[in-house]
Structure 1
Amino acid sequence: MSTPISSFGREAAAAIARSKNEPAWLVAWREEAGQLATELNLPKPEKLPLTRWTLDQYGANRPGQTVASAADLPAPIAALLPEEKNGALIVQHNSSVIFTQLPEELKAQGVILTSLEDAARNHEELFRKHFMTAYTKDEHKLAAVHAALWNGGVFLYVPKNVEIAAPIQALLFADDAEATFMPHVLVVADTHSRVTFVEQVASTLGETSSTLLHNSAVEVFAKAGATVQYAAVHQLDDSAIDIAYRRAILDNDARIEWIVGDLHNGNAITDTKSVLKGNGSTSDSKIISIGTGKQRMSLTTQAVHFGLSTESDMITRAVMKEEATAIINGVTKIEKGATKSNGQQTERVLMLSPKARGDANPILLIDEDDVKAGHAASVGQVNAEQIYYLMSRGISRSEAERLIIHGFLDPVVSEIPLEGLREQLHRILERKLG
């Protein structure tokens, strides 16, 4: 049974935490977040009235059935995983993590991969030092609700000087529209470590009158000299609302690479932000999205420069069909004292229908003189000259348009670090563009 957020608060949050036998300090923490949820306002993305969205249902705790091996995973979940399932893998089904697999050689190096709920109990020091310090519970109502109700989730710790060659995978899956589905991913990459993390969020909800609220968060902490490549693909049903706030905090000479396919079928808010705190830190963000039907989306990418000689690059590409609307914001902020920094951004939108709408808003906020910053933005239709050229080579108009669109999105698709997921991404694109 779903409960309106308007009736949700301090006591309800504490009761949920106690029902899961969480530590007393976490019960109190959730209790405080529950109180904030009754006091804070919703975020106010530009030209997107969230008061019209169904954000007042948070669902009920519906844990999945734990399994002992990847071979025992439910068929809909197994179908979303690559054929090779021997690597590091964690799976959440509705409200809980049901399977975790970490190769022995990584365990021997001190790598930790577990549910966030387990980390709160068994890795308290690391958890409390980092959890919801980059994305805080007092930012707005959605953040407070997430802080009070997060479940399952992923905790990954990579020790100093450890370099993990194969991607670590997380599959977050829902098939119950009335489940509380609010995973939180927390990645801590210690000094001079290297890791690739692949997050896949998917649902199979079938016919339902309920709205699944996927209110999620990602926090990445890259310590001095660490490199984190974070790839995410979201493909939820149109009866779900996708809320995804992603944050990275970078120390000296650290690097984050965001590779994101926001391919959800319903309304969505995503906000991907890199905070370049340390000198010489770098951020590279590549994001694609496809809007169909009557989708409403707000897609924001941000880079905030504090350190000296920091660099950020942001590329967002969106394709809008039918009556879909997307507000795409790129924000580069260079703080006073961040000398020799360089921030670049590009937002491009392809419109495939006269009723579709895409707004590209590049924003530069510069408080320092000795820096470089630039932006490019465009909103338009498929290039007629490119179509004519391809048709002159014997290619049909529809196939020419398909090739141009795939080429438009390829800078992100080609960067997905798992071949199986790249192939799956191509299938999603074909379905959404078909």
Structure 2
Amino acid sequence: MNNTLNKINNIPMRTWRWLGVNNITIDRTLPEPKEYTLSITDELENSEVKVELMKKDTSSKFLPSNYEGLNEASLEQCKNNYNTGIYVNSIIDRKATKPVFINYNADEKNDLIIDNNLIIAEENSEVTVVINYSSQTSAFHNGLTQVYAKKGSIVNLIKIQELSDNSIHLDANVAKVEDNAVVNYVEVNLGSLFNVTNYRADLNGYKSNGNIHSIYLGDKERDIDINYLINHYGKETKSNIEARGALLDESKKVFKGTLDFKKGSVKSKGQEEEYTVLLSPNVKNRSVPILLCTEEDVDGQHAASAGRIDENRLFYIMSRGFSEAEAKKLIIEAAFNPIIDKIPSDELKSNISNSIRRKLSDE
């Protein structure tokens, strides 16, 4: 199998090649798997849900046969050669009040994280899982997270990525959502040199619901490639994609957000909106909001916008005694905060806000 990262994270519906949005190529190869020795056992204690390290016999049990992930090689590595991962299973008819926190940390001796995570929410249950990727040194991350939300359940999956500036972050996610179930996906991307994320939700059940709320911050020469896809299969399904970002220095970003209304998804509704603040004339920003439809009785809306900070708003804040740099930080933080507030940890929220301020301080 070809382990090169050539033309990965393909857009669901290809467009003109010269636009440079169909996929991304990274001049690296997937590293050979090796042991990941940092223990996460102490962080798995939660009496309200079943949480354990991933076992080989459960790793690919619920993965859709047609899910491609970022590409075949990276997906196969996560399925068959992972070196860490968690299995979370909620209790039927029970709402877990305590989130499950997982911290995948990399250091010089443990610089390769290949995680395979599986979250199963039993009927009428609720579970929140927070996964944090961080490093102080160069690291390589390749991950897969599967979510199976059974009837009437709610899954809140929150991912925070703060790997070092010369790291690579490859992250694939797929969710299966049954009748009246909800999957809320929150993504905070602040680190890594190459940041490539893929998320697909299949709204299979009647009145199933899928939501994505994400923020990203590009600085220096960071390269961000985001690919979100929500498939509407069931009747009266609902979806929402909300993405907010800021780009500075010479960073690059491609956002691909797709709502696909399949035949039979009558009376379904979906909307997506992405907004990017451009803080440098040298950034490259490309956004592709896509609506696909083979069903007539549906309601889909999409929008993408980008631009510099509103001068009137900037002037108003500066008139209250703030410098221009401080005013810009306040405006960006105000845009990010509604999504950051969805994280169920004051410590994590504070760390994220501080990280954003540090990155904006040199703007």
TM-score (norm 1): 0.76
> Match of 1:277?
204
Alpha-carbon distance between aligned partners in 2 of 1:357 and 1:379, rounded to the nearest angstrom: 11
**Contiguous gaps of at least 5 residues in structure 1:** 1-35, 67-90, 92-97, 206-210
Residue 102 of structure 2 is aligned to residue 102 of structure 1: no
Asked if 1:239 is matched to 2:171, the reply is: no
Counterpart of 1:155 in structure 2 is 87
SS of the residue corresponding to residue 403 of structure 1 reads: helix
In structure 1, how many angstroms separate the alpha carbons of the residues matched to 2:255 and 2:69? 24
Task: Give the corresponding residue for 2:304.
Answer: 377
Q: Is the 8 A contact 1:37 1:142 kept in 2?
A: no
Partner residue of 1:430 out of 353, 357, 360: 357
CA–CA separation in structure 2 for the residues paired with 1:239 and 1:38: 20
Task: Describe the shift of the 1:185–1:132 C-alpha distance in structure 2 as closer, same or farther (beyond 3 A).
Answer: farther
- TM-superposed CA distance for 1:162, in Å, is 1.9
Partner of residue 336, structure 1: 263
In the alignment, which residue of structure 2 is the partner of 1:112? 50
CA–CA distance in structure 2, aligned partners of residues 40 and 414 of structure 1: 34
The match for 2:136 is 204
Distance (whole Å) between structure 2 residues aligned to residue 246 and residue 430 of structure 1: 28
Could you tell me how far 1:180 is from its partner in structure 2? 3.3
Structure 1 or 2, whichever has the larger Rg, is 1
* 1:267 lines up with 2:194 in the alignment: yes
Q: Does 1:58 align with 2:32?
A: yes
Report the structure, 1 or 2, having the larger helix content.
Answer: 1
Gaps of 5+ in 2: 12-19
Q: Tell me if 1:187 matches 2:125.
A: no
CA distance in 1, matches of 2:236, 2:119: 25
Residues 30 and 74, structure 2, Cα contact 8 Å, conserved in 1: no
Matched, 1:323 2:246: no
C-alpha contact 1:243 1:268 (8 A) present in aligned 2: yes
Question: Aligned equivalents of 1:308 and 1:218: distance in 2?
Answer: 26
Displacement of 1:190: 0.8
1:219 aligns with 2:146: yes
- Matched residues in 2 for 1:52 and 1:230: separation? 27
Question: C-alpha separation between the residues in 2 aligned to 1:177 and 1:346?
Answer: 41
Shift of 1:58: 3.4
Asked if structure 2 preserves the Cα contact closer than 8 Å seen for 1:100 and 1:114, the reply is no
Deviations 1:179-204 (A, max 9, x none): 43111211000111111111111112
RMSD, matched Cα:
2.3
8 Å CA contact 1:40, 1:138 repeated in 2: no
When normalised by structure 2's length, the TM-score is: 0.90
The answer to whether the 8 A contact 1:167-1:418 is kept is: no
What does residue range 81-92 of structure 1 map to in structure 2 within 5 Å?
A: 91=40
Residues 1:43 and 2:8 are matched in the alignment: yes
CA distance in 1, matches of 2:214, 2:288: 15
Q: CA deviation at 1:172?
A: 0.8
Specify the alignment match of 1:4 in structure 2: none
Contact 1:295 1:325 in 2 (8 A): yes
Q: Which residue of 1 aligns with 2:14?
A: none
- What secondary structure, in the 3-state scheme, does the structure 2 residue paired with 1:182 have? strand
Count residues in correspondence.
Answer: 352
State the shift of 1:360 in Å.
1.6
**Structure 1: how far apart are the matches of 2:121 and 2:215?**
26
Amino acid at match of 1:293: K
1:310 matched to 2:237? The reply is yes
- What is the deviation of 1:340? 0.3
The alpha-carbon distance between structure 1 residues 131 and 343, as it changes in their structure 2 partners (threshold 3 A), is closer
Going from structure 1 to structure 2, the CA distance change for 1:420 and 1:135 (only over 3 Å counts) comes to farther
Over 3 Å counting, the alpha-carbon distance change for 1:409 and 1:382 in structure 2 is: same
Equivalent residue for 1:368, pick from 262, 276, 295: 295
Q: Which moved more, 1:261-270 or 1:344-353?
A: 261-270
Aligned with residue 129 of structure 1, among 56, 61, 73: 61
**1:430, distance to aligned residue in structure 2 (A):** 1.1
Tell me the distance in 2 between the aligned counterparts of 1:355 and 1:280: 44
2-side partners of 1:43 and 1:140: how far apart? Answer: 9
**Secondary structure, counterpart of 2:112 in structure 1:** coil
Q: Does 1:300 align with 2:265?
A: no
CA gap of 1:415–1:252, structure 2 versus 1, over 3 A, is same
Query: Counterpart of 1:53 in 2: which secondary structure?
Result: strand
Name the structure with the higher strand share.
Answer: 2
Q: Deviations over 1:235-292 (max 9, x none)?
A: 0012210001111110011001111101123111101221101110001110000001
Spell out, residue by residue over 1:343-376, the C-alpha distance to the aligned partner (whole angstroms, 9 max, x if none): 1000111110000121121100011110100011
